[in-house]
Structure 1
Amino acid sequence: MSTISLRKLQKSYGAAHVLRDIDLEVEDGAFVVFVGPSGCGKSTLLRMISGLDTPSGGEIFIDGNLVNDVDPKGRGIAMVFQSYALYPHMTVAENMGFGLKIEGRPKEEIQATVGKVAQTLQLEPLLKRMPRDLSGGQRQRVAIGRAIVRDPNVFLFDEPLSNLDAELRIEMRQEIARLHKQLDATMIYVTHDQVEAMTLADKIVVLRAGRVEQVGNPIELYENPANEFVAGFIGSPKMNMFDVTVTDFVDGNTTVAFADGTQIAIPTASSPSSGDRLRCGIRPEHISPQKGGTPFAVEVVERLGHGTYLYGGFLGGEKICLSLPQDYAAAADETIGVAFDRDKARLFDQDGKRVY
């Protein structure tokens, strides 16, 4: 296991700034997920930690040692890529043991190590097969096994499940989580899928346009997003957002008016100025049916077995989503009354920064 420290890390290609002043601490044995939209710099950041890319500025420390000028093979890191990158002319066993062979390890040691890792990953029946004879999930397990046999200090995963179908992604997520617990290893995982981030991470790092927007555990980011971007990116379906205007503050409650004039009081620690234009966020599960409540015009009903999503128009034409129990009876073109859980509402300023 290892700790990783990034200090003012930067990456530029000419005038294009890909990463800007990244400061981050990865604790020993942590599972950290870099998440964000395409082009936010998460894979570039991972490649710089591995040594495959060179920083334009800043420092990378592994176990307290500056490694900016250390070759990838000297950093004690193993990387699993989106593409399996298996040698097609080698068997599963040969693919897994190839790195050890290059290091000049004895044949008996390679066989013993590969056998042990194959047992962990349930690959023993496949050791003599060629990559073309494997499913996508099996190939990805071989790629992970190839990393494990090297006994690295840090595992780096660059969107390893994006080529798999939905069922296999769930299966491999569970496999990676189990491996992290079993190996007690430091892992950094890159994905654009916030569901993967929420289910795997001890710590999530949300990136946008080369900057870190927020760092925290999954529940912290879900319940208390630092800004509107994080609020919209973390959570599925995403947080509903409304334009509101502050009208009053009484006894720890800020009253805001929506576009159609509807007003609600939201608990806040202090008083914003009357007339301030803010954005109000509320998650789909925090809006519930209430007889005589604010009218919500149902347009689309999605029944997913575990729950039901309602999409439609609300408060002057805003389009929102409700997350309800699977047996909730609703139909398209129906209008129902709904109410907010006011304690769960979040307020953001016009620049997207969380204010309450």
Structure 2
Amino acid sequence: MESVVVAFSAGVDSTFLARAAREALGDRALLVTADSETYPARELDEARRLAAELGMRHVVVETRELDNPEYARNPVNRCFFCKDELFMKLAPVATREGIATLVYGANMDDLGDHRPGMRAATEHGVRAPLIEAELTKAEIRELSRRLGLPTWDKASFACLSSRFQYGDRVTPEKLRQVDAAESFVRSLGFRECRVRHHDRLARLEIAAAELPRLFEDGRQTAIVARLRELGYVYVTVDLAGFQSGSANLVLTMKGRALAARPGAASSGPASTDIMGGPDMAPQTPPRSAPSRETRDGPRRPVPFTGSEERRATPEDGPR
């Protein structure tokens, strides 16, 4: 890759990818961030700040996912429409800048989860250098730490639409309600948290290690009061704690139920559910990501240089 546009969200993966692109390509790497109502404004602010710290060119484009009725109805393949919109907006930027390749920060762990957005990347010809280098999330965090990137231990984050159950229509009003609720919970010092929206009920997912603090110093009372101000009647805590992608549990459970039916092996995947067509069936994970640890530590990727078919080797130790 001689030049790239990096889809930059300021998360762990895309920040590491941006740093790698800067080292390999210099000014031939451009960061592009989406300004979307499905993400809190603070995430866009952080993207601008990190791009400046990295010393990289940075462009912000507006995306309008909710204008697409297919996205707004929130099917199980919602993320396909989100990424489709994003990559369509990135393509003209790349053309204007004379850049041939679009890249994004998917990693090896993403291959084993329900990720319709990866299909959009394939259809648009967007490459995933971190997958090409066979890097897992844990390795990316460790390499980021070694490089001194401030995102190395950043809490995972997903778009606000992920707070709604599949089939629950996404609206600007609901997004603002969830954003305000989650922002308040975070303001009380909870690092890993989600506010899952179930109509008038808010289900809090908080990291298990932080759960005891919920009932200290009046936090429980404050959260209930604030969330009721925002329109929730019932405020509950999920005893399973914080679970990234917990909305996909319904897909796993449905897949198990289908598999348990007589003749399920020959019936094929269910695709008639109103929730979203062929993507309704849980995806079969590919091979597990191999262990990449060596006595010299995690391997460092070289995603932008050398042969297009080259993979990281033990000699590519961290610099």
Q: TM-score, normalising length from structure 2?
A: 0.25
Higher relative contact order (CA 8 A, sep 6+): 2
Please state which structure has a larger fraction of its residues in strand. 1
Please state which structure has a larger fraction of its residues in helix. 2
Work out which of the two has the higher radius of gyration on C-alpha atoms and give 1 or 2.
1
Q: TM-score, normalising length from structure 1?
A: 0.23
